[in-house]
Structure 1
Amino acid sequence: MSTPLILLPGDEVPSNHLPSTKSNPLKLGSGVRLLSQPSTNSAASSHVLTASQAGILTTDAKRNTVSLQSFSNRRYIPTTNDLIIAQIHHSSIDYFHCIVTPHTAQALLGQLSFEGATKKTRPMLNRGDLVYARVSSVGLGAGAEVEITCVNPATGKAEPGGLGPLTGGMVFDISTGFAARLIRASSSSADHGDAIDGLVVLSELGKKLESSGGFEIAVGRNGKVWVDCSAAGDTAIKSTIAIGRCLQSTDDNNLNTTDQKKLVTKVLREMKLSS
């Protein structure tokens, strides 16, 4: 097994660590930025990839992607194509101005950046409302504007991930590193579930809460997770809180798969959601 490659902000991504797939264009994930000018050590390359945050370099040869698996922390740096949960702060003629993190500049969400939206049918969002969005562009330099969207620009659709306004439910804070793990887990194959990334907490919750209506979840790369158990009827609030507790405890204590299963059983019993 090869030694993991840890990069710090500003480090170049070695070309010999990039996927060799040529059939698809190379896709950049979280934590990796493309520079237009090569450095002196890589004059043979027309572009240079650098790390925008500290993390472990991860690649996916099948999808031809490269990204950084960040460590558990609370700081989020917007990166193009990241899925995030943003909160509406106010609106202007053309944009909704959204809070991505409490200590960064507001992101711009076009008022027509929703599936099927027109000037007459665009969603009427108010201060405090939530949206599940994708980072579409990130400016260069301090204070640069970040733009987000709730549609795939190529198709005009909200994509399978369910981009758009989030109604009901509750939002819980998690570390950005754990958010990245949850996103990778949810995109893994159905045959393996989320155990691929050492996470079984969601699959365990899904099994035990299925009979009461299950739940919906949206994970933001900015350290936010939205949980909705409205289908659970009278136990909706308790179920939502139980899921949030399980996710935050798994994150805070870096629980292994066995302890995650024990945690789910314990929390659901305490909340009287299982026998």
Structure 2
Amino acid sequence: MTTPLVLLPGEEVPSDHLPPTKNNNPLKLGPGLRLLSQPSTSAAAGHVLTATQAGLLTTDAKRNTVSLLSFSNRRYLPTTNDLIIAQIHHSSADYFHCMVTPHTAHALLGQLSFEGATKKTRPMLKQGELVYARVLSVGIGAGAEVELTCVNPATGKAEPGGLGPLVGGMVFDVSTGMAARLIRASSASPDQTDAVEGLVVLSELDKKLESVGGFEIAVGRNGKVWVDCSNAGDSAIQATVAIGRCLQQTDEGNLSTSEQKKLVSRILREMKIG
């Protein structure tokens, strides 16, 4: 077993930290890494893998994937295939121009990049509305445009996780590291989530809010979390705010599993929910 490895932007990934190739399956790259075409003796298959951000290198031998776990920070660098929450700034003839992070160039979302969209049925999104989208491409070099999509290019379907406009609810800011943890935890099996990510805040909220109608959540790698508790009736606003507070305080305090459980109970009690 290799020792944990922290990489800085621009550093190469040593070949001995990559999962072994099986059945000629191509290595899959997760967030934080980039494949360069120049040959190198230090990287697998004659290619150079470099880090695009600082983080902890992780591998998954079963899925033949390698990725970089970013540290808790507020800066987000778009990476192809990332799921993000974007806000519509304005529209043009063919695109919606979206804000992904503050003080950066707008990303482009095609007006027909929605499931079943035609010129007559495409969504008429207005300034300030939100979409759950996937990063389709990021371009190369300074000033390169980021392109988004709300469908799987291979199937034309809004998958996974219900890509498309986000109606209602509230958005809360967390660090990009916390966003990545939430996404990984949500994709893990229930018996692995606690052990792998140390996150129980969502499962605790789910159990305690089930009696009032539960909630929906969408997590963007750009540090945005959309929460909707519209089924909670008169408690919808309080429940939504409570979830946001729990996520943000877990992030800011780097709380342990026991501390997360106590936090959920305390905040729901303060908000008089359940």
Q: TM-score range by the shorter chain?
A: over 0.9
1:225 counterpart = 2:225: yes
Aligned equivalents of 2:51, 2:228: Cα separation in 1: 35
Aligned to 1:20: 20
Cα deviation for residue 110 of structure 1 reads 0.7
Name 1:33's counterpart in structure 2.
34
Question: Structure 1 261/2 Cα, relative in aligned 2: closer, same or farther at 3 Å?
Answer: farther
Instruction: Tell me the distance in 1 between the aligned counterparts of 2:43 and 2:81.
Output: 28
Q: Which runs of 5+ in 2 are unaligned?
A: none
Q: 1:195: how far off?
A: 4.7
CA–CA separation in structure 1 for the residues paired with 2:247 and 2:3: 29
What does 1:52-71 align with in structure 2 at a 5 Å threshold? 52-71=52-71
Q: Which residue identity lines up with residue 37 of structure 1 in the other structure?
A: Q
Report the Cα distance in structure 1 between the residues aligned to 2:62 and 2:251, rounded to whole angstroms: 28
Corresponding position: 1:253 with 2:257: no
Shift in CA distance, 89/43, structure 1 to aligned 2, threshold 3 Å: closer
**Superposed displacement of residue 15, structure 1:** 1.6
TM superposition shift of 1:104 = 1.4
Distance 2:185 2:42 in 1: 34
SS of equivalent to 2:249: helix
Q: For residues 166 and 194 of structure 1, what CA distance do their matches in structure 2 show? A: 28
CA displacement, residues 102-157 of structure 1 (integer Å, 9 cap, x when unaligned): 12111111111111111111111011110001111111111111111111001111
Matches within 5 A, 1:137-156: 137-156=137-156
Return the letter of the residue paired with 1:25.
P
Partner of 1:237: 237
Output the amino acid matched with 1:173.
Answer: D
Q: Indicate the residue corresponding to 2:136 in structure 1.
A: 136
- Aligned counterpart, 2:180: 180
- Aligned partner of residue 191 in structure 1, secondary structure: helix
Asked if the contact 1:32–1:68 (Cα under 8 Å) also holds between the matched residues in 2, the reply is: yes
Question: What is the deviation of 1:194?
Answer: 4.7
Partner of 2:10: 10
Change (3 A) 1:11 1:38: same
- Residue matched to 2:166: 166
User: Is the 1:186–1:194 Cα contact (8 Å) retained in structure 2?
Assistant: no
- Is 1:263–2:257 an aligned residue pair? no
Q: Secondary structure of 2:218's partner?
A: strand
Q: Is the 8 A contact 1:28 1:67 kept in 2?
A: yes
TM-score by length of 2: 0.96
Q: TM-score, normalised by structure 1?
A: 0.96
What's the secondary structure of 1:66's corresponding residue?
Answer: strand
Q: CA RMSD in A?
A: 1.5
CA deviation vs aligned residue, 1:145-180 (integer Å, no higher than 9, x gap) = 111111100111111311110000000000000100
CA shift for structure 1 position 44: 7.8
Q: How many residues align?
A: 273
Unaligned 5+ segments in structure 1 are none
Tell me by how many angstroms 1:247 deviates: 0.1
The aligned amino acid for 1:29 is G
Q: Is the 8 A contact 1:188 1:194 kept in 2?
A: no
Asked whether the 8 Å contact 1:194–1:203 carries over to 2, the reply is no
